[in-house]
Amino acid sequence: MKFFGPFKELVGKRWMAVEVHQDISILEFIHEMAEKSNPRLVEEIVNHEEDLRPNVIVLINGRNIVHLDHLNTKLKDKDTVALFPPVGGG
Amino acid sequence: MGKFLRVDLSTSGIKEEEFSIDVLKGFIGGRGLGVKILYDELKPGINPLSPENKILIMTGPVTGTPSPETGRWCSVTKSPLTGTIHDSQSGGDFGPYLKFSGFDGIVIEGGSEKPVYLWLDNGNAEIKDASPLWGKDVFQTTDTIIKDHGDKNIRVACIGPAGENLVRFAAIMNDKHRAAGRGGHGAVLGSKKVKAIAVRGDKRPLIADEVLFKETTDKVIRKIKEMSVTSESLPNRGTAFLVDLINEEGGYPTRNFQTSVFSTADRTGGQTLRETLLIKAKGCWGCIIKCGRITKVPAWSQFSGEGEGPEYETIWAHSAQCGVDNLESISKANYLCNELGLDTIEMGNLIGLAMELYEKGYIEEEATRGVDLKFGNEQAIVELTWRTAYRSGLGDDIAEGGVTLAKKHKALELFMGVKGQGLPAYDPRAFQGHGLGYATSNRGGCHLRAYMIAAEVAGEVTGEKIKLDPLKTEEKPKWLKIFQDLYGACDSLIVCKFNTFAVGAKEFAGLLTGATGWEYTAEDVMKIGEKIYNLERAFNIREGFKGREEDTLPKRFLEEPIPEGPKKSHVLKLGEMLDEYYKLRGWRDGVPTKEKLKELDLEKASQDIGV
């Protein structure tokens, strides 16, 4: 998982690599990452109903999860997850 | 709104002028009014670098008012790079100060024998001798004019050596570090021997309906603070943060768009800029977002310098586009472009083109005159900037633009541009809607006729969370038209486009009605934007553009899949979108129909282009 912007500040790292079981969902993966880095990571990404917060971009291999299976999207071996706030510009 | 200057440099004549209320109401100001004036006054077929061209320095009715992001101005002309109608937008302080000097805009026509600058001082205007300034760079020119007048409350827009040397993508720089960058407007001023425009004054614009204006302004401020892009990313991290995101998305054009991931992008991204060269954030006049960055490369570096930027596009143009990952050399190239008065996007795009031409054997060793043109050479991006501004060696070829440079080496297919203007920092194969925007832009390769990235990546558009799949083509023509029309209005008010992450036509209507006292609805605003887009298209058709023929992209994007990364195997599916786009526009093969022009009260244009 790569952390950008406020997520990097929260976790204190640019990236972490973790071994997880096959077919883990991205939501489960975020929970695992939070346990290993900062528990607040979960609440920055999902609300109390475990819906994705609107001001978070979660990419799996460069694809926004909202165009995949949202928080149910399953991860595969060597997948890269990246967390961003919304970014725009020139 | 309503007091303009007309400056005829051939006769040294200056007079005040007003435009009819119908024209002002119908085209607003800025880009819209500029396009209308030039459509009416320019004969087709004129050489953009001849005295027959005109260049307009424009504000809009909300410029310099107490609403956020109203600190912008624009120039409008026939571009020496593209041959199209072309407006170039800029920030800083100059726009409001032009308004405060007592004038809403300047029409500059003819040509001077000797270098001059325009001096607008609290309702008075003069043409002054600029012979001592000719040859000076942008910073020296600005400092000298301010010193000569003994007043720090003067603001200056000027050209550097690049404009004087008629580099076809020379910029008009203002407040030293801000640029009306694209399209070579600096060369148009240079061809007229206009070195600078200096402004001073205390004539604040009147607001017709202060209650409505304040109500709308309060809403704009609230929405800017609600949206993440405008309240967190841009203020805290600037545009450079896009390097990281666009590279992660696999759409970051690398080595002249040969691929779309740059393996060392993190060395030049927003996080690295923040940790190394950043001094502080900066905003334009009246800005609450403050996306600008002031940076410094230390004195002990061979690339030492300081200034504003580099922004995302500039970083891309001198980094991934050229294979360079040294943020200090990239920043130096940025500072140089500002000092010499060059469009950073075009400059970097064409250095990347030159590198691919060299690596593939089109440019021979001898022609490089000792500059190693292999991708990745951090010295080359600085050296070629100097040589281009002064038209030295290969720089002379680069100064003529990408089409000429590539054609000279019989490799036109390697110029990554549209209608003669180089593409910016998003691979169209990775962002289908944005790619359609590139193809159909009236001013050539441009990411700001319609910033579809707001919907395809950022997910914040006019205060709504809109997330379009960048790889799909469905709905993109519809959204592109919305963006193009909205931005036509935005560039005419004039308001910074970053507002449009948070607000849209409804708020623009409120600001316009409040500022002018004329009634505008959101529908009116979008209709005017549509009218502007159609008039621009008619201008280009009148100049000889065919429409569909030029609404395209290099073969690389249509036929060569992205070779690696998250967007591997994708091409731009232009064919799936273009016909639908034309249908929505009411165009036939890229040409507005008689019915559409009649609907928009542009019947004369219909006759001019023979539809």
Same domain, B450 and B418: no
Q: What is the pLDDT averaged over residues B334-355? A: 98
A vs B, Cβ pairs < 8 A, gives: 97
Same domain, B394 and B440: no
Regarding an ipTM greater than 0.90, the answer is yes
Same domain, B416 and B436: no
Using the 3D structure, point to which of B422, B442, B467 is the last residue of a domain: B422
CATH number at B441 reads: 1.10.599.10
Chain A contact for B478, CB < 8 A? no
Neighbouring CB atoms inside 10 A of B113's CB total 9
Question: Which residues in chain B have Cβ-Cβ distances shorter than 8 Å to A14?
Answer: 266, 271
Residues of chain B numbered 106-145 and touching chain A (CB < 8 Å): none
Q: Is residue B226 part of a domain?
A: no
For residue A20, give how far its alpha carbon lies from the nearest alpha carbon of chain B (Å): 22
CATH number at B311 reads: 1.10.569.10
Taking the C-alpha atoms of residue B339 and residue B459, their distance in angstroms, rounded to an integer, is 35
Q: Say whether pLDDT at A40 is over 90.
A: yes
Question: Which residues in chain B have Cβ-Cβ distances shorter than 8 Å to A70?
Answer: none
Same domain, B528 and B470: yes
Same domain, B407 and B444: no
Question: Are A90 and B245 an interchain contact pair (Cβ–Cβ within 8 Å)?
Answer: no
State pLDDT tens for residues B581-595.
999 999 999 999 999
Q: Is residue B155 part of a domain?
A: yes
Same domain, B399 and B502: no
Q: Say whether pLDDT at B426 is over 70.
A: yes
Q: Is residue A8 part of a domain?
A: yes
**Residue B245 is nearest to which of A54, A63, A87, comparing CB atoms?**
A87
Same domain, B141 and B275: no
For residue B442, give how far its alpha carbon lies from the nearest alpha carbon of chain A (Å): 18
B340-362 b/e with 16+ CB inside 10 Å = b? bbbbbbbbbbbbbbbbbbbbeeb
Q: Kindly identify which residue of chain A lies nearest to residue B237, measuring between CA atoms.
A: A5
State both tokens at B510: 């409120």
Q: Is residue B98 part of a domain?
A: yes
Same domain, B177 and B28: yes
Taking the C-alpha atoms of residue B417 and residue B349, their distance in angstroms, rounded to an integer, is 9
Peptide bond before B37: cis, by omega within 30 degrees of 0?
no
Q: pTM (2 decimals)?
A: 0.97
Residue B101, judged by CB atoms within 10 A of its CB (0-12, 13-18, 19+), counts as buried
Interface test with A, best of B247, B249, B263, B453 (most A CBs within 10 A): B249
Place of tokens 């990246």: A82
Q: Is residue A47 part of a domain?
A: yes
Question: Are A5 and B266 an interchain contact pair (Cβ–Cβ within 8 Å)?
Answer: no
Same domain, B367 and B411: yes
**Residue A82 is nearest to which of B229, B248, B501, comparing CB atoms?**
B248
Question: Which residues in chain A have Cβ-Cβ distances shorter than 8 Å to B245?
Answer: 4, 57, 84, 87
Q: Say whether pLDDT at B524 is over 90.
A: yes
State pLDDT tens for residues B399-418.
999 999 999 999 999 999 99
Question: Which residues in chain A have Cβ-Cβ distances shorter than 8 Å to B241?
Answer: 4-5, 87, 89
State pLDDT tens for residues B539-582.
999 999 999 999 999 999 999 999 999 999 999 999 999 999 99
Question: Are A86 and B242 an interchain contact pair (Cβ–Cβ within 8 Å)?
Answer: no
Residue A18 pLDDT: 85
State pLDDT tens for residues A56-84.
999 999 999 999 999 999 999 889 999 99
B543-549 long-range Cβ contacts below 8 angstroms, 24+ apart: B543/B44, B543/B45, B543/B78, B543/B83, B543/B84, B544/B44, B544/B45, B545/B83, B545/B84, B545/B419, B546/B589, B546/B590, B546/B591, B547/B587, B547/B589, B547/B590, B547/B591, B548/B578, B548/B582, B548/B589, B548/B590, B549/B590
Q: Is residue A90 part of a domain?
A: no
Domain boundaries, position B381? 252-422
Same domain, B400 and B488: no
Same domain, B66 and B107: yes
**Residue B241 is nearest to which of A59, A61, A87, comparing CB atoms?**
A87
Distances (CA, A) of B434 to B342, B344, B477: 25, 20, 10
**Residue B233 is nearest to which of A62, A67, A86, comparing CB atoms?**
A86
Chain A contact for B429, CB < 8 A? no
State pLDDT tens for residues B32-68.
999 999 999 999 999 999 999 999 999 999 999 999 9
Chain A contact for B263, CB < 8 A? no
CATH number at B135 reads: 3.60.9.10
State pLDDT tens for residues B103-122.
999 999 999 999 999 999 99
State pLDDT tens for residues B474-515.
999 999 999 999 999 999 999 999 999 999 999 999 999 999
Question: Which residues in chain A have Cβ-Cβ distances shorter than 8 Å to B448?
Answer: 90
State pLDDT tens for residues B127-172.
999 999 999 999 999 999 999 999 999 999 999 999 999 999 999 9
Residue B280, judged by CB atoms within 10 A of its CB (0-12, 13-18, 19+), counts as exposed
Chain A contact for B522, CB < 8 A? no
Q: Is residue B540 part of a domain?
A: yes
Q: What is the pLDDT averaged over residues B266-291? A: 94
Question: Are B229 and A87 an interchain contact pair (Cβ–Cβ within 8 Å)?
Answer: yes
Residue type, B410: K
Place of tokens 């799949």: B469
Residue B1 pLDDT: 63
For residue A34, give how far its alpha carbon lies from the nearest alpha carbon of chain B (Å): 21
Same domain, B522 and B572: yes
User: How many separate domains does chain B show?
Assistant: 3
pLDDT band at A21 (very low <50, low <70, confident <90, very high): confident
Question: Are B458 and A66 an interchain contact pair (Cβ–Cβ within 8 Å)?
Answer: no
Q: Kindly identify which residue of chain B lies nearest to residue A65, measuring between CA atoms.
A: B469
Question: Which residues in chain A have Cβ-Cβ distances shorter than 8 Å to B290?
Answer: none
Task: Compute, in degrees rounded to 10, the torsion defined by CA atoms B175, B181, B187, B190.
Answer: -10
CATH number at A66 reads: 3.10.20.30
pLDDT band at A19 (very low <50, low <70, confident <90, very high): confident
Residue B146, judged by CB atoms within 10 A of its CB (0-12, 13-18, 19+), counts as middle
Task: Compute, in degrees rounded to 10, the torsion defined by CA atoms B167, B169, B175, B176.
Answer: -60
Taking the C-alpha atoms of residue B540 and residue B44, their distance in angstroms, rounded to an integer, is 9
Question: Are B245 and A57 an interchain contact pair (Cβ–Cβ within 8 Å)?
Answer: yes
Q: Is residue B259 part of a domain?
A: yes
Contact B3, B16 (CB under 8 A): yes
Q: What is the pLDDT averaged over residues B203-227? A: 97
Q: Kindly identify which residue of chain B lies nearest to residue A81, measuring between CA atoms.
A: B248
Using the 3D structure, point to which of B422, B448, B471 is the last residue of a domain: B422
B370-379 long-range Cβ contacts below 8 angstroms, 24+ apart: B374/B323, B375/B255, B375/B322, B375/B323, B375/B324, B376/B322, B376/B323, B376/B324, B376/B325, B377/B322, B377/B324, B378/B303, B378/B324, B378/B326, B378/B329, B378/B330, B379/B329
**Residue A85 is nearest to which of B233, B448, B469, comparing CB atoms?**
B233
Q: Kindly identify which residue of chain B lies nearest to residue A5, measuring between CA atoms.
A: B271
Question: Are A64 and B248 an interchain contact pair (Cβ–Cβ within 8 Å)?
Answer: no
B124: β partners: B121
User: How many separate domains does chain A show?
Assistant: 1
**Residue B465 is nearest to which of A6, A54, A59, comparing CB atoms?**
A54
Using the 3D structure, point to which of B200, B232, B265 is the last residue of a domain: B200
The overall average pLDDT reported for chain B is 97
DSSP reduced 3-state for B474:
coil
Taking the C-alpha atoms of residue B600 and residue B577, their distance in angstroms, rounded to an integer, is 24
Contact B514, B212 (CB under 8 A): yes
**Residue A86 is nearest to which of B249, B458, B469, comparing CB atoms?**
B458
Residue A22 pLDDT: 81
Q: Say whether pLDDT at B424 is over 90.
A: yes
Q: Is residue B232 part of a domain?
A: no
Taking the C-alpha atoms of residue B139 and residue B141, their distance in angstroms, rounded to an integer, is 5
Domain boundaries, position A59? 2-84
Q: Is residue A89 part of a domain?
A: no
Q: Is residue B75 part of a domain?
A: yes
